[in-house]
Amino acid sequence: MRVAFYAPLKPPTHPAPSGDRHMARLLMAVLQQAGHEVELAARLRSWDGRGDSERQRRLQQLGEKLARRYLRRLATGAEMLKPDLWFTYHLYHKAPDWIGPIVSRALAIPYVVAEASHAPKQAQGPWAEGFAAAEKSIRQAAAVVAVNSKDVPCLRRLAKSERLFQIRPFLDTAPYKELPSRDECRARVRRMFGLEAEQPWLLTVAMMREGDKHRSYELLAQALQGLLDRDWQLLVVGDGVARAQVEIAFAPLTEKGRVVFAGARDAVEIRQLTAACDVYVWPAVNEAFGMAFLEAQAAGLPVVAGRYGGVADVVDDGEDGLLTAPGDQEAFANAVSSLLQDPDRRRRMGAAARERVLAGHGLEGAAARIDQIIQPLVP
C-alpha cells in the first residue's frame, strides 16, 4: 500500500541528529521493509517548547494550509498518487499533528499514530491547544501504536483495546553483525584518544543540550566522582549547545584523566567506539526508552541506567544491565561500581544484551508487527 508518513516533532530530513529523527527514519525503513511505498508527506515541525499560545496558533494555521495544499496536489493527479493510509510518528501536546487528521478525513483513509503520548495534566496548561489537538488526533486514529509501555495507561483513556497496539523498540541490527573484532576496535580507540588499555572503559553517547540531557550529564558526573578509588575511564560521545556546561560538570574528573570528550561522531564511528568499551552508562533523566541503549547492547555492552519511562522495555534489569531508581546518584554509582569490579559479570551481561537485541529487536520483527497492525485497516 501507499503510506503517507509524517513526524511533527522532528522530520526525518532534519539536519540535527537526535533519537527522534533516528526513530522516524527507522519507522520509514520498517514500513518499506514490510513492502509498502512510503512518501514523506510533510516536513512541518510543529514543536513548541516554550508554551507560546501565539506560536501554537500560527503552527496550526500553517498545518491546515499545508493539508489543503497536499489535497490540491492530489486532486491534480499530476505529481502524486492518493495514499492508502496516513502514518504519523510521535505526536503529543508540544508537537500535535495539524495535517494528518485533515487529510485522512478528506480522503477517507485510515489514520495511524505511533508513539503518541497523552498527559492529562497538560489540559489546562500553556500547551492546552496542542493537548486538545493531540487528544483529538489519538481519538480519530484507526490504530494507536505504542513503542513505550509507559504511554499505554494514559492512551487507554482515548483508544479502546482493539485500536491500541504495542511494538518492541527496534533498530537496524545488520551493521552490528558486521562489526570489527573487539580487539581491533579497542586498539583503534586507544590510538585515537589515549585511553589506558588495562582499565575498563565506560561510554556514554548523548546530545549536549539544555534540560534533561544536561541533567543526565550532571548526575553522571556526580555519580562518577564517588568512584575515584576504582580504575576506569569514561569516553563521552556527543556535542551541542550545552557542551560548555557539560565540560564544567566533568572538569574535576577530566583533570584527573578519567574523562575524554570525543565530540560528535557518525554512526559508523559510534558503533566501533561502542564495541571497544566495557559498560554503557547513562542516567536517562526522563528518557522515553533510549535508542542509545539498544545500540550499546547490540554492540555487546551491558547498560547502567536510571529507571525512567520505558527504559525497562530495552534493559532487562539484572540480566543484561542494571537499572537504578530515577535520580538516585548513590545507587547509580553503586551499580557502575559492581560491574567495574566484576569483569566476568559484565561480559556475561554484554553477551546476553547482544543476543537479545539481535534476535528480538531488529527491523524484520518490527516490519512484521507493523504490517500485522495496518494491513487490516485497508480493504
Considering the domain architecture, whether residues 235 and 145 belong to the same structural domain is answered as: no
Residues 152 and 223 in one domain: no
pLDDT tens digits for the chain (379 residues)? 999 999 999 999 999 888 889 999 999 999 999 999 999 999 999 999 999 999 999 999 999 999 999 999 998 875 678 999 999 999 999 999 999 999 999 999 999 999 999 999 999 989 999 999 999 999 999 999 999 888 999 999 999 889 999 999 999 999 999 999 999 999 999 999 999 999 999 999 999 999 999 999 999 999 999 999 999 999 999 999 999 999 999 999 999 999 999 999 999 999 999 999 999 999 999 988 888 999 999 999 999 999 998 899 999 999 999 999 999 999 999 999 999 999 999 999 999 999 999 999 999 999 999 999 999 999 8
Specify whether 265 is located in the same domain as 371: no
Looking at residue 79, its pLDDT comes to: 60
CB atoms within 10 A of CB 355: 13
Strand partners, 272: none
Instruction: Let me know whether 297 and 328 are in one domain.
Output: yes
Q: In a 3-state reduction of DSSP, which class is residue 276? A: helix
Chain CA centroid to CA 32, Å:
20
270 and 328 co-located in one domain: yes
Whether residues 207 and 284 fall in one domain? yes
Number of Cβ atoms within 10 Å of the Cβ of 267? 12
Range of the domain at 104: 2-170+362-377
Burial, 41: exposed, middle or buried (Cβ in 10 Å; 0-12, 13-18, 19+)? buried
Phi, psi of 208 (to 5 degrees): -105, 95
Per DSSP, helices labelled H in the chain are 19-33, 53-76, 100-107, 128-140, 152-155, 182-193, 212-225, 243-255, 267-276, 291-298, 329-340, 343-360, 363-374
**pLDDT value at residue 274:** 97
Whether residue 182 sits in one domain with residue 318: yes
Same domain, 347 and 368: no
Q: Record the cell numbers describing residue 193, joined without a space.
A: 584518544
Q: According to the model, what pLDDT value does residue 77 have?
A: 74
Structural domain tally of the chain? 2
CATH number for position 121: 3.40.50.2000
Q: Do 295 and 371 sit in the same domain of this protein?
A: no
The answer to whether the CB of 361 falls within 8 A of the CB of 173 is yes
| Angle CA 84–31–133, to nearest 5 | 65
For position 359, what pLDDT does the model report?
94
Tell me what pLDDT residue 78 has.
59
Residues 183, 81 share a domain: no
Residues 15 and 163 in one domain: yes
- Shared domain for 161 and 280, answered yes or no, is no
